Chains A and B, each alone.
Chain A
Amino acid sequence: MAEKPSPKRKRSTAAAKKPERSTKASDFPDRIFGIASPQSVGVSMFTPGVVADASTVGNFQSDPQVVERAVNLLADAGFEVLQANELMINIAGPRELYESAFGTQLVAEERPTLKPGQIEDTATYFDTTDTDVSGLCSTSGTRFEEVLEGVAIEEPAYPCAVNAFPPAVDYFKLDVPADVSLACNADQAHRAGITGRGIVVAMVDTGWQTHPYFTQRGYRVDPTLLGPGTVNAGVDGSGHGTGESANIFATAPDVTLKPVKAAAASGALVNLTAAFNAGVALNPHIISNSWTSDVQFGPLSAALQARAAAVAAAWASGIIVVFAAGNGHWGFPGQHPDVISVGGVDVRIDGSLRASDYSSGFMSNVYPNRRVPDMCGVVGMRPKAMNIMLPLPAGSEIDTGNAGGSHPTTGDETANNDGWAAFSGTSAACPQVAGVCALIKQACSHLTPPQVRDILMSTARDVTTGTNHPNFGNAAGAGVDLATGNGLVDAHKAVLLAKVRCLRQPIVPLHPFTPAIPLQPISPALPKLPLAPALPLQPFQPFLPKLPVQPFFTPLRPFAPVGPDPGPFTAGGLSEDDIEALERMIIDEGELPGS
Chain B
Amino acid sequence: MSEDPVVALVLVPAAEAEPAARALRAEGFLVGPHVGMSMAITAPRRSFERVFGTRVEDSAEGGWVAEGGTRELPLGQLPPVLAERVEAVTFDEPGETTG
Contact = CB atoms under 8 A, between A and B. Distances in A.
Contacts of B40: 228, 271, 273-274, 277-278
B32 A309 contact: no
A455 interface: no
Contacts of B93: 272, 293, 301, 303-304, 307
A274 B97 contact: no
A302 B71 contact: yes
B41 to A, nearest CB: 8
Nearest to A517: B36
A31 B68 CA distance: 33
Nearest to B74: A523
Given A228-B42, A522-B72, A281 B33 contact: yes
A228 B91 CA distance: 12
B42 A310 contact: no
A330 to B, nearest CB: 12
A244 B99 contact: yes
B71 A229 contact: no
B67 to A, nearest CB: 15
Interface string B31-61: 0111111111010000000000000000000
A542 B33 contact: yes
A570 B76 CA distance: 65
A475 interface: no
Interface stretch (A36-44, A51-59, A109-117, A533-541): A533-541
B97 A206 contact: yes
B88 A522 contact: yes
A407 interface: no
Nearest to B88: A522
Interface string B1-44: 00011110101011100000000000000101111111110100
| Residue among A205, A327, A519 having the largest count of chain B Cβ atoms under 10 Å | A519
Contacts of A517: 36-37
A290 B99 contact: yes
A265 to B, nearest CB: 8
Interface in A263-314: 264-265, 268-274, 276-278, 280-281, 290-293, 301-314
A337 interface: no
B80 interface: no
Contact of A293 (B34, B87, B94): B94
Contacts of A519: 11, 13, 37, 87
B72 A309 contact: no
Nearest to B42: A228
A228 B5 CA distance: 9
A303 B4 contact: no
A329 interface: yes
Contacts of B34: 277, 540
Contacts of B13: 519, 535, 537
Q: Which bucket holds chain A's interface residue count?
A: 35 or more
Contact of B88 (A243, A302, A326, A542): A302
Interface stretch (A118-126, A137-145, A186-194, A418-426): A418-426
Contacts of B99: 240, 243-244, 290, 398, 423-428
B92 to A, nearest CB: 5
A256 interface: no
Interface in A509-532: 513, 517, 519, 521-523
A242 B53 CA distance: 40
A323 B11 CA distance: 23
B87 A521 contact: yes
A314 B72 contact: no
Given A274-B7, A277-B38, A523 B98 contact: no
A324 B98 CA distance: 7
A304 B6 CA distance: 18
A238 interface: yes
B96 A269 contact: yes
B8 to A, nearest CB: 9
Contacts of A314: 35-36
Nearest to A311: B36
B36 A290 contact: no
- Greatest chain A CB density within 10 A among B37, B97, B98 is at B98
Interface in A536-569: 537-538, 540, 542
A331 interface: yes
A430 interface: yes
A310 B35 contact: yes
Contact of B11 (A280, A292, A306): A306
B91 A303 contact: yes
A206 B30 CA distance: 22
A537 B36 CA distance: 8
Nearest to A324: B98
B7 A305 contact: no
Contact of B35 (A264, A313, A423): A313
Contacts of A308: 36
Contacts of A238: 97
A270 B87 CA distance: 22
Given A272-B92, A312-B36, A306 B9 contact: yes
B62 A228 contact: no
A310 B36 CA distance: 4
Q: From B11, B37, B38, B94, name the one whose CB has the most chain A CB atoms within 10 angstroms.
A: B37
B33 A280 contact: yes
Contact of A270 (B35, B62, B72): B62
7 contacts: A205-B97, A278-B40, A281-B35, A291-B95, A302-B9, A302-B90, A325-B98
Given A271-B92, A291-B96, 17 more contacts: A270-B92, A271-B63, A272-B93, A277-B35, A277-B40, A291-B98, A292-B98, A301-B90, A303-B93, A304-B93, A306-B9, A309-B38, A331-B98, A398-B99, A425-B98, A521-B87, A540-B35
The list of the 4 closest CB pairs from A to B, nearest first, reads A427-B99, A309-B36, A274-B40, A306-B38
